[in-house]
């Protein structure tokens, strides 16, 4: 006789696996319904323009110090790491072209999205989670206010609009850091450095980076709002919502990066 069947408190292994699979598929379906509700609400008035502008300020302006420091360090470090490899082949003159390709195509959108996922995503998860715990969302529903449109739609639109702008800003700051590193070692002029940078970049690079950063911003907003809006009761639920928002957003960002790179490379 199976020992697990003797004790009613011990669930069979197949039952546990089935329950986990059911929970996973239910979560995917719930997230799908959450995204569909966003697209239904975003085109229906009233439009919360003041809240959208406020959230753009929270996402964009308040992220500038961290984004600036991270972007500058990224440009300097990548340049210093790439120089010895090119110097072995006597190709240090190709350094500006290599830097521009790496920063515009990959580093700027990926670094910005990861920083925003950690800062903005966790903030959204914790903020909406605390509102859920203190029953502020329920109070908004009672007062004839649509909490989903006011809290969720405005935040998702803000991240979708602001992350591409932050990515372009990060790329500019990273290129400035790279220029300072190149100029201090090779004495390359400002005009020569950026002429090589822009000669290497194509319209497809700009389009793919903008599209990629828009997808990243939408993902960060959806994941952060989903975990916060559907957090469980209690203070433990708030911390879990913030943590889950960061982990899930970063995982999806890497998955989307792989998929979009494959699609873009098919057009090159």
> What DSSP designation does 7 have?
-
Does 22 fall in a domain? Answer: no
Q: What digits encode the pLDDT tens for the residues 87-141?
A: 787 777 788 888 899 999 889 999 999 999 999 988 888 888 888 888 788 788 7
Does 113 fall in a domain? Answer: yes
What backbone phi and psi angles, to 5 degrees, belong to 45?
Answer: -70, 160
What is the mean predicted confidence (pLDDT) over 195-210? 89
Does 156 fall in a domain? Answer: yes
Q: 156 and 222 in contact (C-beta within 8 Å)?
A: yes
Does 9 fall in a domain? Answer: no
Q: What is the pTM of this model?
A: 0.87
| pLDDT in the model for residue 1 | 43
Does 35 fall in a domain? Answer: no
Distance of alpha carbon 151 from alpha carbon 184, whole angstroms: 48
Q: What digits encode the pLDDT tens for the residues 96-110?
A: 888 899 999 889 999
Does 40 fall in a domain? Answer: no
Tokens of 46: 């009233």
| pLDDT in the model for residue 222 | 93
Domain count, the chain: 1
Distance of alpha carbon 188 from alpha carbon 186, whole angstroms: 5
Does 127 fall in a domain? Answer: yes
The tokens 């003041």 sit on which residue?
50
| pLDDT in the model for residue 189 | 83
Residue 166 has pLDDT above 90, yes or no: yes
What is the mean predicted confidence (pLDDT) over 56-81? 91
Which range is least confidently modeled, 3-12, 179-188, 200-209, 254-263? 3-12
Distance of alpha carbon 192 from alpha carbon 190, whole angstroms: 6
The chain-wide mean pLDDT, for the chain, equals 85
Does 29 fall in a domain? Answer: no
Distance of alpha carbon 71 from alpha carbon 60, whole angstroms: 15
C-alpha count within 13 angstroms, C-beta hemisphere, residue 29: 6
Q: In sequence order, what are the residues at sequence separation of 6 or more whose Cβ sits closer than 8 angstroms to the Cβ of residue 208? A: 105, 260, 264
The domain containing residue 222 runs over which residues? 53-267
Residue 16 has pLDDT above 80, yes or no: no
Residue 12's pLDDT band (boundaries 50, 70, 90)?
A: low
């Amino acid at each position: 006789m199976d020992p697990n069947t003797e004790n009613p408190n011990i669930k069979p292994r197949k039952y546990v696996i089935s329950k986990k699979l059911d929970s996973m598929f239910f979560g995917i379906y719930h997230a799908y319904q959450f995204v569909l509700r966003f697209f239904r609400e975003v085109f229906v008035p009233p439009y919360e323009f003041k809240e959208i502008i406020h959230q753009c300020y929270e996402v964009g302006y308040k992220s500038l110090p961290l984004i600036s420091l991270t972007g500058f360090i990224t440009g300097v470090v990548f340049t210093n790491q790439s120089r010895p490899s090119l110097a072995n082949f006597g190709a240090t003159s190709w350094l500006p072209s290599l830097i521009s390709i790496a920063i515009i195509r990959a580093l700027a959108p990926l670094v910005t999205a990861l920083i925003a996922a950690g800062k903005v995503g966790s903030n959204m998860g914790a903020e909406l989670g605390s509102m859920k715990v203190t029953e502020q969302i329920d109070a908004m529903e009672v007062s004839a206010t649509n909490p989903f449109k006011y809290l969720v739609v405005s935040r998702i639109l803000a991240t979708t609009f602001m992350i591409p702008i932050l990515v372009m800003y990060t790329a500019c700051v990273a290129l400035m850091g790279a220029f300072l590193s190149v100029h201090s070692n090779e004495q390359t002029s400002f005009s020569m450095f950026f002429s090589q940078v822009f000669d290497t970049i194509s319209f497809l690079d700009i389009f793919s980076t903008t599209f990629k950063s828009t997808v990243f911003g939408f993902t960060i907003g959806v994941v952060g709002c989903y975990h916060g809006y559907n957090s469980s009761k209690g203070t433990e639920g708030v911390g879990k919502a913030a943590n889950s928002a960061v982990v899930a957003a970063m995982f999806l960002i890497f998955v989307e990066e792989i998929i979009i790179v494959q699609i873009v490379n098919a057009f090159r």
